[in-house]
Amino acid sequence: MTFAERLPASTAVAAPAPDLTQDQVRELRLAHGALSEANGKLSEAQDKLVQSEKLASIGQLAAGVAHEINNPIGYIFSNFGTLERYLGDLFEMLAGYEAAEEEMAGTPSAAKLKALRERIELDFLKEDIPTLMAESKEGITRVRKIVQDLKDFSRVDAHQEWVWSNLHQGIDSTLNMVNNEIRYRADVVKEYGVLPDVYCLPSELNQVFMNLLVNAAHAITAVRGAITIRSGTDAVSERVWIEVSDNGGGIPKENLARIFDPFFTTKPVGKGTGLGLSLSYGIVRKHHGQLDVRSEPGLGTTFRVTVPVNGPSPS
């Protein structure tokens, strides 16, 4: 509801009472404008507060879960490596026994061994065990990555350093890292402006760029799409901005308010955890910056990161 709609009919600005002077009407209009603007700012601030509260509580939860899962995952992962080695040894031993079995052909022991081998379907086991091991390893690796994401998400990064950094270099190295996700789906167009070095946590900002670039690549629906990276400065506010645009499927209106929520994803299981944008939002907020999105379903999406050149101002 707009401010004007909320006014009682007698004070409605659009249809001034006949006894109001021109000056009073003008003043009322000005006041209306100022109030609508204030109203807009208030609801924007409210949205941001809700978002940061959500992030704070999910952050605590994530930190707890990540901590609890991290230890068992650690030893499962390391035991797995040892198990693989042991299995290799066992298979070697088995090959030795099989050779020996051939030499014992015709004896009762050989017949017993053959019966046993057939009962347990040894040939099938030998084929299936490596497949099972590989699948399990992939699963554990995926869980470890999710736990790492959760830790990153909840972390107040003590050992990260604030430094003056060239964001274009960061984006370029990030592009190299995600090249595999992008190159088969889209061409990358760089429209870099001239950027000053920015006081920031470079590896965290790179994580933001990575999320945005991978999301852009995943959004491409055509055989081949384009991802455009633009950058520029706003000299007045001493801020720089980076945009990642894609000409993919876009984001339906009803999802727009939810994409920054932790665990919101439209991707199939295994493809996305839904943490990328909420992580990115937290990182940009830590820089006292802004993460905005514009999207046209069917045409594409643009994410814009804006951060202050001089880092977060003391608050």
Ligand X SMILES: Nc1ncnc2c1ncn2[C@@H]1O[C@H](COP(=O)(O)OP(=O)(O)OP(=O)(O)O)[C@@H](O)[C@H]1O
Interacting residues with ligand X (CB under 6 A): 211, 215-216, 219, 246, 248-251, 259, 264-267, 272-278, 301
**Given the complex with Mg ion, which of 101 and 149 has the nearer CB atom?**
149
**Given the complex with ligand X, which of 231 and 273 has the nearer CB atom?**
273
> CA torsion, points 288, 53, 268, 284, in degrees to nearest 10?
0
**Given the complex with ligand X, which of 32 and 280 has the nearer CB atom?**
280
| Angle subtended at Cα 259 by Cα 172 and Cα 207, rounded to the nearest 5 degrees | 25
Query: Least distance in Å: CB of 22 to ligand X?
Result: 50
The β-bridge relationship of strands 225-234 and 186-191 is parallel
DSSP string, 153-205: HH---SS---EEE-HHHHHHHHHHHTHHHHHTTEEEEEE------EEE-HHHH
**Under rule CB under 5 A, residue 215 binds Mg ion:** yes
| Residue 198, contacted partner among ligand X, Mg ion, none, CB below 5-8 A by kind | none
Q: Nearest residue by C-beta to ligand X?
A: 276
**Under rule CB under 5 A, residue 262 binds Mg ion:** no
Query: Least distance in Å: CB of 162 to Mg ion?
Result: 25
Stretch that binds Mg ion, among 43-51, 63-71, 177-185, 207-215 (CB under 5 A): 207-215
Q: Per CB under 5 A, which of residues 270..299 are in contact with Mg ion?
A: 276
| Residue 228, contacted partner among Mg ion, ligand X, none, CB below 5-8 A by kind | none
The position carrying tokens 């499962």 is 76
- 65: how many CB neighbours lie within 10 A of its CB? 15
Rounded Cα distance between 5 and 156, Å, is 44
Binding residues for Mg ion, per CB under 5 A?
211, 215, 276
